Amino acid sequence: MSVIESTGQIAPAGTWAADPVHSNVSFEVAYAGVNTFRGSFTDFSAVLVAGDEPSLQGSARVASVDVKDEQLGGHLQTPDFFDAERYPEIEFRATDLRHLDGDRVQGSGELTIKGETRSITIDGAVAPAPSVDPFGRERLGLRLEATIDRTDFGVSWNAPNQGGGDYLGTDVKLIAELALVRQEA
């Protein structure tokens, strides 16, 4: 399968790496039946190789999960959630990525969490063209989203909500907002 096809390439040929300072990898899940809980990963990488044999790959270090509560951050490291000791990284590899009309992007890929690899569908947007920053580097914005069932990946902890149902939603939205920088050859 091709990673770059359809109405146009996602990026000019070359290697594009996420600038971690200006990029964000995060997640959202329904919480307590009344709001959305959000978290992110501070240590991640993503590389898009555009050209004859294009690819898009990324990973996030589980130990870098960032939430507003230190105790919850520790709980997310346990086998109830990510099991960071046994599975220190979450990995993604695009198997298909299409640039559609305008800035729309759609595709699919393989996501691995806790040793479980599943196919996922991704949607998003890409900047219409690269721009040049004040330091002379070419940059391109790419935003990708996917919604997964966390229990498919062995992330099944939950608790009953006093108002009925479960405390945590099953569906989790994954968001990658990538500021890609063209790498020198």
What is the CATH classification number for the domain harbouring 162? 2.40.128.110
Specify the pTM. 0.92
* Residue 152, SS3 per DSSP: helix
- For the stretch 86-115, pLDDT in tens is 999 999 999 898 889 899 999 999 999 999
Number of domains observed in the structure of the chain: 1
**Number of Cβ atoms within 10 Å of the Cβ of 116:** 12
Q: Could you give the CA distance from residue 125 to residue 107 in angstroms, rounded to a whole number?
A: 11
Residue 8 has pLDDT above 90, yes or no: no
* Residue 7, SS3 per DSSP: coil
DSSP state letter for 43? S
Q: Residue 90: give the domain boundaries.
A: 5-182
- For the stretch 116-163, pLDDT in tens is 999 999 999 999 999 999 999 999 999 999 999 999 999 999 999 888
Percent of the chain's residues with pLDDT above 90: 82
Strand 168-182 versus strand 131-132 pairing type = unpaired
